[in-house]
Every structure is written in structure tokens, then in C-alpha cells.
């Protein structure tokens, strides 16, 4: 049976993960520290959620060196974009049904 919550992804339920995806949806790539400051979370908290999103292949990571310093940037995968869109569209329907 199709229900109103069917288009919601377990992977995006957590508020930090929702924030990560929202930030990556409007920024091509973001550094770990930028995301951390944007969402006001600890290193450990952000790292564990990034790992979960990476595991689902919704987020990718680019490691490089800038001025010989390691630089880690995250981006949203095509798969992640599609899933996040479906998630937001479902949330939007739920919100609309309230008004």
C-alpha cells in the first residue's frame, strides 16, 4: 500500500543529514569545516553522518592537496540528488496537506 511517508528516505531522517544534503544541494562542493560551522555540530557527529551518506552513495568525497595541506571536499552524487529531491517533494506534500 502506498502511504504518505513512502517517498521519505531513512538516510535523510536525521536533522544533521537533512542539513548536510540541503547545504550540498546548493553548493557544488563543501569542505568539512564549512559544513561543520554551517550546521554547528561536532567533528565526530558530522563525520559519522557523512560516512553514513557516503555509504549510501548519496555523497562523494574529493581528497586533494592545496599548498601541500590535505583538503577534503564533499559533493552530492547524482543518486543523492535524485533521492533528496524525492524526499523533499514528499515532505512538501505532507506540508501542503496541512494547509
Which residues form the interface with a copy of itself (CB under 8 A)? 1, 3-5, 8, 10, 13-16, 18-19, 22-23, 25-26, 38-40, 88, 91-92, 94-95, 97-98
> Could you tell me the smallest distance in angstroms from the CB atom of residue 67 to a copy of itself?
29
In the complex with a copy of itself, which residue's Cβ is closer, 61 or 91?
Answer: 91
Contact 84, 76 (CB under 8 A): yes
By CB neighbour count within 10 A (0-12 exposed, 13-18 middle, 19+ buried), where does 59 fall? buried
> Could you tell me the smallest distance in angstroms from the CB atom of residue 36 to a copy of itself?
11
> Could you tell me the smallest distance in angstroms from the CB atom of residue 40 to a copy of itself?
5
- Residue 37: other Cβ atoms inside 10 A: 10
In the complex with a copy of itself, which residue's Cβ is closer, 8 or 52?
Answer: 8
> Could you tell me the smallest distance in angstroms from the CB atom of residue 65 to a copy of itself?
30
**C-alpha to C-alpha distances, 16 to 47, 58, 64, nearest whole angstrom:** 11, 14, 25
Contact 73, 81 (CB under 8 A): no
In the complex with a copy of itself, which residue's Cβ is closer, 1 or 66?
Answer: 1
Q: Hey, CA dihedral for 63, 64, 67, 68, is it positive or negative? A: positive
Amino acid at each position: 500500500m502506498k502511504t504518505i511517508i513512502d517517498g521519505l528516505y531513512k538516510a535523510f531522517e536525521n536533522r544533521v543529514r537533512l542539513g548536510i544534503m540541503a547545504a550540498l544541494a546548493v553548493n557544488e562542493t563543501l569542505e568539512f569545516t564549512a559544513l561543520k560551522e554551517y550546521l554547528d555540530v561536532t567533528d565526530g557527529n558530522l563525520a559519522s553522518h557523512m560516512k553514513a551518506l557516503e555509504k549510501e552513495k548519496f555523497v562523494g568525497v574529493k581528497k586533494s592537496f592545496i599548498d601541500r595541506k590535505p583538503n577534503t571536499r564533499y559533493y552530492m552524487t547524482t543518486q543523492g540528488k535524485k533521492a533528496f529531491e524525492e524526499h523533499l517533494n514528499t515532505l512538501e506534500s505532507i506540508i501542503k496537506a496541512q494547509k
